[in-house]
Copies of this chain bind each other. A is one copy, B any other.
Amino acid sequence: MFQKLLLLLALVLIYCSNKNSAIITAIGFSILGYFVTNFLIPKVGPSFIKIGLFGKDLSKPGKPVLPETIGAVSAIVYLFVVLSYIPFIFYKYMVVTTSGGGERGNVIPSHEESLNSTIFPHDRLCEYLSSILCLQSTILLGIADDLFDLRWRHKFFLPITGSIPLLVIYYVDFGVTYVLIPGFIQRWMQLTASTIDLGGLYYVYMAAMGIFCPNSINILAGVNGLEVGQSIVLGILELLNDTLYLTLGSKQARAAHRFSAVLIIPFLGVSLALWKWNRWPAKVFVGDTYCYFAGMVFAVVGILGHFSKTILLLFIPQILNFLYSCPQLFKIVPCPRHRLPHFNEEDGLMYPSVANLKDEPPKSWFIPILRLLNCFKLIQLEFDDKDKSKIISCSNMTLINLTLVWFGPMREDRLCNRILQIQFLIGLLALFARHAGGAMLFGHDNLWT
């Protein structure tokens, strides 16, 4: 009953959207996307298992076999949604402002007019298409990864090839490669210009975004629902930021953030459906495809909206997770093949997993640092019973294990929720700092200019 009402609401929103804004269309289609994804996931699961796309859930009694790569379903539904609402978010505007008849591309609305409208102007279509193209490339590469189980070094650079369409369009269509210089640096270095042109470096920076966002979601994983959960939290935070700009921002900022919201709202729809199936106790696994896709959504939004630094702020938990992992990634501390938390079948709780330091000691210069981290409860060390100065194991260096060190053993779903709460809190603080701090650094917050 509730589902039917929701579906009806979606249709009403889509119908009404002709007279209203692109955001309302997005909400309608997002609800539709939720239902379609939710319908498809249980249907396709067995086919995925049949062709070998499955994995064992190691944190459950009996280690059940679950279909893998199901996130590809969400991703493909997302593509259909963002493709099929192009006419809704672009068409009305065109009918009103152009003469029609095959030469629409030649009639261009005034810039002022296009910023005022709540529907997108035509010159946004290229941007929009290149975003979809970039996401679709990422999905294609993600599927290749899930199918062929690529090597780590291929995996790492894979998303960058997906971002080629975006960079190319940015180059052809915008070419804006300058960034603002904070006020205090301007004064300090006695600069007359308030911006600096990064040139080619800006493309390197954008490509780095395209590598970082997808991989960082892929790395913070291993607990039922965490990949999707963190993507949903990221989406909500970004949507909060968009709402801020859409209600208080300048016209220019409004256009960029409307674009962002229009891409993120349906992303939340398909992700929530996936979350329903992937949360504890998981019935499906999401696969690398989803992680790459989700990360790329944020990279795309940040790059085309020209607020990629704000996006990076939202990724602070993922960045911390990466930095925290470095000693193990670079083999300073031995790194076991799997660093998932340890599941105890007896009490059904998750415990921090450990790296054995007895047989394979860490680099000697790093031992004092390990002890220091232990003092601040940033790691859990186990000492030899006889020789208290000898470390025999340390908890694996991931945010997941750290959460277990802090809050003690807990059930998998509580662990996931706790991590998501921390992520949400950090994100809120980051957004606050960005708007309060931005005003200080640049002399003004671009929210109101």
Contact = CB atoms under 8 A, between A and B. Distances in A.
Interface in A79-97: 79-80, 83-84, 86-87, 90-91, 94
Interface string A45-77: 001000110000000000000000000000010
A168 B84 contact: yes
B130 A172 contact: no
A171 interface: yes
Interface stretch (A103-111, A270-278, A320-328): A103-111
A173 B104 contact: yes
B139 A105 contact: no
Nearest to A129: B129
A123 interface: yes
Contact of A174 (B76, B84, B102, B176): B102
Interface of A is mostly: helix
A287 to B, nearest CB: 13
B125 A83 contact: no
A152 interface: no
A161 B76 CA distance: 11
B136 A175 contact: no
A80 B161 contact: yes
A93 to B, nearest CB: 10
A90 B172 contact: yes
Interface of A: 47, 51-52, 76, 79-80, 83-84, 86-87, 90-91, 94, 100-106, 108, 111, 123, 125-126, 129-130, 132-133, 136-137, 139-140, 143, 147-148, 161, 164-165, 168-169, 171-176
Given A105-B173, A108-B108, A173-B105, A87 B168 contact: yes
Nearest to A100: B175
Contact of A137 (B47, B52, B136): B136
Contacts of A174: 102, 104
15 contacts: A47-B148, A51-B147, A51-B148, A80-B161, A83-B165, A86-B172, A103-B111, A106-B111, A129-B129, A129-B165, A132-B133, A136-B136, A136-B137, A140-B143, A143-B143
Contacts of A172: 86-87, 90-91, 94, 125
A137 B136 CA distance: 8
